């Protein structure tokens, strides 16, 4: 980066460039936009960024991102604690939530098994899931993303959870392969949820 650019400016450009979907060009544009914009805007942004990590944590039951522990879904008396939908990311839980029909609770893995990226079962909240499923859980819906990593994760979980009396299901095919649940429209997701298949 040119020496003509002051350090605080390059610092923000570099920080923004590290975000997914933001290249150096967009990062520069955003940074110069903030320089021109009213002070209030950068203040809000910096406060929001600070609070993001400081005021959130993982729910000790489902590992979703939450302010209160347990999270509002786990704390909700009306949710069926015997049905657990296993998802890769918090946004996937949100996508299922948007269908408006799922009455169970979630378990967020925080990723998927990926030998290429060096992510193994121990890097995910799988042991916690196995622990949880030992209670009076009746069904575990494996709602990992369609695609190689999601399938590998589903297979691993299936192996770990197989026991008498526990129903293991997987979202129906028909979801776009390689796409994340968060990008699937609610109608398609609802159909995949309702048509979920029993895993052998």
> Which letter, b or e, does each residue of 73-95 get, where b requires 16 or more Cβ atoms within 10 Å of its Cβ?
bbeeeebebebbbbbbbbebbeb
CA distance 189 to 174: 9
For position 93 contacting Zn ion by CB under 5 A, the verdict is no
Our CB check for Zn ion shows the closer of 13 and 71 to be 71
The whole-angstrom distance between residue 12's C-alpha and the CA centroid of its chain comes to: 26
Mutual angle of helices 148-161 and 126-133, in 10-degree steps:
40
For position 86 contacting Zn ion by CB under 5 A, the verdict is no
Residue 88 DSSP code: S
Our CB check for Zn ion shows the closer of 28 and 83 to be 83
The whole-angstrom distance between residue 66's C-alpha and the CA centroid of its chain comes to: 12
For position 71 contacting Zn ion by CB under 5 A, the verdict is yes
Our CB check for Zn ion shows the closer of 7 and 77 to be 77
To Zn ion, the closest distance from the beta carbon of 75 in angstroms equals 8
* Parallel/antiparallel/unpaired status of strands 139-142 and 167-170: parallel
CA distance 56 to 146: 29
To Zn ion, the closest distance from the beta carbon of 33 in angstroms equals 37
Q: What angle do CA 84, 88, 92 make, to 5 degrees?
A: 80
For position 59 contacting Zn ion by CB under 5 A, the verdict is yes
For position 61 contacting Zn ion by CB under 5 A, the verdict is yes
Q: Which stretch binds Zn ion (CB under 5 A): 73-81, 95-103, 130-138, 156-164?
A: 73-81
Please, what sign has the CA dihedral across residues 100, 124, 77, 140?
positive
* Total residues binding Zn ion (CB under 5 A): 6
Among 12, 13, 74, 168, binds Zn ion (CB under 5 A): 74
Instruction: Write out the binding residues for Zn ion, residues 96-115 only, by CB under 5 A.
Output: none
Q: Which stretch binds Zn ion (CB under 5 A): 70-78, 112-120, 131-139, 185-193?
A: 70-78
To Zn ion, the closest distance from the beta carbon of 58 in angstroms equals 8
CA distance 171 to 198: 9
Our CB check for Zn ion shows the closer of 37 and 67 to be 67
For position 140 contacting Zn ion by CB under 5 A, the verdict is no
Residue given tokens 């192996």 in the structure block: 159
Residues that bind Zn ion (CB under 5 A): 59, 61-62, 70-71, 74
């Amino acid at each position: 980066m040119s020496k003509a650019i002051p350090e605080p400016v390059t610092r923000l450009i570099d920080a923004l460039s590290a975000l997914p979907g933001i290249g150096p060009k967009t990062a520069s544009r955003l940074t110069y936009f903030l320089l021109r914009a009213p002070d209030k805007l950068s203040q809000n942004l910096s406060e929001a960024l600070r609070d993001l990590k400081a005021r959130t944590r993982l729910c000790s039951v489902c590992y979703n991102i939450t302010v209160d522990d347990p999270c509002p879904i786990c704390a909700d008396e009306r949710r069926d604690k015997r049905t657990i939908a296993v998802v890769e990311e918090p946004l996937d839980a949100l996508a299922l939530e948007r269908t408006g029909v799922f009455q169970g609770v979630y378990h967020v893995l925080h990723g998927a098994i990926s030998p290429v990226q060096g992510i193994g079962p121990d890097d995910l909240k799988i042991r916690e899931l196995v622990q949880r499923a030992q209670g009076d859980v009746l069904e575990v819906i494996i709602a990992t993303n369609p695609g190689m990593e999601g399938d590998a994760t589903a297979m691993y979980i299936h192996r770990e959870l197989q026991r008498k009396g526990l129903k293991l299901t997987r979202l129906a095919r028909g979801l776009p392969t390689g796409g994340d649940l968060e990008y699937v429209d609610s109608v398609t997701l609802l159909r995949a949820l309702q048509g979920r298949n029993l895993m052998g």
